[in-house]
């Protein structure tokens, strides 16, 4: 297949010559690794690989309104499953990923939505049974086989979990067949709406206590503000009364059970900001303690505190008040987008990292925040580059995308790659428009997308281990594994600018003293600048890019970077 390389050869020769395979990570060291040691790969199982076509309809019979299966529609099941994940473990590990986080695999209500707005639970967030695997993805036994296969390779498994809501089962007598507006506690202190469970769905939820309507708020739809952000139904989904002790106890038991049965290594918590913080202050310590008692001392919990701005305080608050161990670093995503597009100076990154002390545990906690560039809700990083620079050719967009990934892989935090990003997926927007298939797609609005760095389309199978983004990630993951400072090092910001250009930082491992200097150029122009370092620095060793061999003067290193370039240097 012809690829969009051409004049990229000179621009990306380092990337294209990268080592594909990462240094092996021994299975017996899996439990000893800290959360910040990982490189996370995030997948929607339905959109990754179809390893078993017999489960495409989840054991159901009928059309897509019954089975949820329609591979030509972006809002229905496409057939990806656990068997497919197992088949592609070589591909995932070859990129340097050491942990796999996947969207929920619990049994879902297959189809929801009013007339003309129906879609399926392919994404996993419309749960009816919180204790078993949805048949569209396989069985509990297949999940056990997947976890065991990942662990045998030294790879961790992170589950995506939900406590905020279940599938939309409960209806309200006061507003049948329509969305119900939120009714506040002040106006309706006892009962806001009269809950009705449709015939045949009285016992659809598991565990059984979830079928009792008293364990839900029943106040109508949230507008995502104020009181209703926590107590309202999330787009009609049944909102658990997470302040109720029975609900707290019930969810602790549910998620202890997945640890006991499968030995998984962490939880990403969906819609964490829409649950009262008192719930998390009990739930998170209980789960962490239970995991430790089961021989998993470095269990990684990170909450989704979704935002699209630069507000570290709002994000950090959930580690202090709600006592979540860590949260997904949405602020890093926005800062990376703004700086790599050139809409903001690199001082925005400095502002981001100045806020690290706001987290409970300070900078040590900040090291464990999963940092990411794009995801299934907010869309893809490559699209952000194209929207900001519609005049740019593929070569420039690819350079910007590679620069963003270099930042994510070397700056503090846990790099988190959204599947498809490594194959140049750009998408048409957020949500369903950013949930393309990795296996050959039948969705027309996916297949007309222009992928970055390749002539392939989503109509092809996109597991190309020679794609320039894949190889760049693999190479930087290998470097992270080799350099403890890039995983566990404290971060010192060295240089930044009020306009596009230089951002430099040191990563220094507090245990060994290992010191790595990293520098990036977000400008379209080459730059030459000086970076301050300790006067004790005598020489530098090239890890990646073009590092000087020694300081130009005591305490000062001369840096030369091409447009959108970066360097990684070992300081001695």
Q: Is the pLDDT of residue 12 over 80?
A: no
Distance from the first to the final alpha carbon of the chain: 45
Q: Tell me the average pLDDT across 297-326.
A: 96
Q: Tell me the average pLDDT across 547-551.
A: 97
- Residues annotated as catalytic are 270, 304
Q: Tell me the average pLDDT across 96-101.
A: 98
Express each pLDDT in 339-384 by its tens digit: 999 999 999 999 999 999 999 999 999 999 999 999 999 999 999 9
Express each pLDDT in 14-63 by its tens digit: 333 333 333 444 455 899 999 999 999 999 999 999 999 999 999 999 99
- Give the pair of three-digit tokens for residue 420: 């498809």
pLDDT given at position 4: 53
pLDDT given at position 3: 44
Express each pLDDT in 451-461 by its tens digit: 999 999 999 99
Q: How far apart are CA 366 and CA 36, in angstroms?
A: 9
**Domains observed in the chain:** 8-163+259-482 (3.20.20.80), 165-241 (no CATH), 488-571 (2.60.40.1180)
Express each pLDDT in 270-293 by its tens digit: 999 999 999 999 999 999 999 999
Q: Tell me the average pLDDT across 393-416.
A: 98
The number of angstroms, rounded, from the C-alpha of 2 to the middle of its chain's C-alpha atoms is 31
Helix (H) / strand (E) containing 83: helix 82-87
Cβ atoms < 10 Å from Cβ of 318:
23
**Phi, psi dihedral angles at 116 (to 5 degrees):** 85, -10
pLDDT given at position 9: 40
> Is the preceding omega at residue 207 within 30 degrees of 0, hence cis?
yes
Express each pLDDT in 124-147 by its tens digit: 999 999 999 999 999 999 999 999
Q: Is the pLDDT of residue 516 over 90?
A: yes
Express each pLDDT in 141-195 by its tens digit: 999 999 999 999 999 999 999 999 999 999 999 997 778 999 999 999 999 999 9
Q: How far apart are CA 521 and CA 496, in angstroms?
A: 10
Q: How far apart are CA 397 and CA 34, in angstroms?
A: 34
Q: How far apart are CA 50 and CA 113, in angstroms?
A: 26
What's this model's pTM, rounded to 2 decimal places? 0.95
At 519, the pLDDT band (50, 70, 90 cuts) reads very high
8 A C-beta contact, residue 133 and residue 106 = yes
């Amino acid at each position: 297949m012809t690829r969009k390389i051409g004049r990229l050869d000179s621009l990306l020769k380092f990337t294209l010559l990268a080592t594909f395979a990462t240094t092996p990570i021994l299975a017996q060291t899996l439990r000893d690794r800290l959360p910040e040691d990982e490189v996370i790969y995030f997948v929607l199982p339905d959109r990754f690989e179809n390893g078993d076509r017999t489960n495409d309809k989840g054991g159901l019979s009928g059309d897509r309104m019954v089975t949820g299966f329609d591979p030509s529609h972006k809002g229905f099941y496409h057939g990806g499953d656990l068997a497919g994940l197992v088949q592609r473990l070589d591909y995932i590990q070859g990129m340097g990923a050491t942990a796999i986080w996947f969207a929920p695999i619990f049994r879902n209500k297959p189809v929801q939505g009013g007339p003309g707005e129906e879609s399926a639970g392919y994404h996993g967030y419309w749960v009816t049974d919180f204790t078993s695997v949805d048949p569209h993805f396989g069985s509990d036994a297949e999940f056990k086989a997947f976890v065991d296969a990942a662990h045998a390779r030294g790879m961790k498994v992170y589950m995506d979990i939900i406590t905020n809501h279940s599938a939309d089962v409960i209806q309200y007598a006061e507003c049948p067949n329509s969305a119900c507006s939120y009714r506040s506690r002040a106006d309706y202190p006892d009962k806001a709406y009269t809950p009705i469970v449709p015939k045949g769905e009285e016992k659809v939820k598991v565990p059984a206590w979830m079928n009792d309507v008293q364990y839900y708020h029943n106040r109508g739809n949230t507008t995502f503000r104020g009181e209703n952000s926590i107590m309202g139904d999330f787009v009609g989904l049944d909102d658990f009364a997470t302040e109720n002790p029975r609900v707290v106890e019930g969810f602790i038991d549910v998620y202890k059970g997945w640890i006991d049965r499968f030995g998984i290594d962490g939880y990403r918590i969906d819609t964490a900001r829409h649950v009262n913080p008192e719930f998390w202050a009990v739930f998170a310590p209980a789960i962490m303690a239970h995991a430790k008692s089961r021989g998993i001392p470095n269990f990684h919990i990170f909450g989704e505190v979704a935002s699209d701005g630069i507000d570290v305080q709002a994000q950090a608050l959930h580690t202090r008040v709600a006592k979540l161990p860590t949260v997904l670093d949405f602020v890093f995503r926005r800062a990376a987008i703004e700086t790599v597009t050139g809409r903001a100076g690199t001082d925005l990154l400095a502002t981001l990292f100045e806020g690290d002390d706001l987290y409970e545990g300070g900078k040590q906690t900040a090291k464990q925040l999963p940092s990411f560039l794009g995801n299934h809700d907010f869309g893809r990083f490559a699209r952000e580059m194209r929207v900001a620079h519609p005049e740019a050719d593929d070569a420039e967009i690819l350079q910007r995308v590679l620069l963003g990934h270099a930042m994510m892989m070397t700056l503090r935090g846990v790099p988190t790659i959204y599947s498809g990003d490594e194959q140049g997926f750009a998408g048409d927007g957020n949500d369903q428009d950013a949930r393309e298939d990795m296996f050959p797609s039948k969705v027309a609005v996916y297949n007309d997308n222009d992928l970055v760095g390749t002539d392939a389309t989503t109509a092809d199978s996109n597991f190309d281990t020679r794609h320039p983004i894949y190889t760049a990630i693999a190479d930087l993951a290998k470097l992270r594994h080799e350099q403890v400072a890039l995983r566990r090092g404290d971060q010192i910001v060295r240089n930044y600018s009020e306009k596009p250009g230089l951002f430099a930082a040191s990563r220094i491992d507090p245990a060994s003293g290992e010191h790595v200097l990293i520098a990036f150029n977000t400008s379209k122009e080459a730059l030459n600048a000086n970076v301050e370092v300790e006067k004790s620095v005598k020489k530098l060793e090239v890890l990646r890019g073009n590092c000087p061999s020694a300081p130009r003067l005591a305490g000062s290193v001369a840096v030369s970077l091409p447009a959108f370039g970066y360097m990684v240097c070992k300081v001695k």
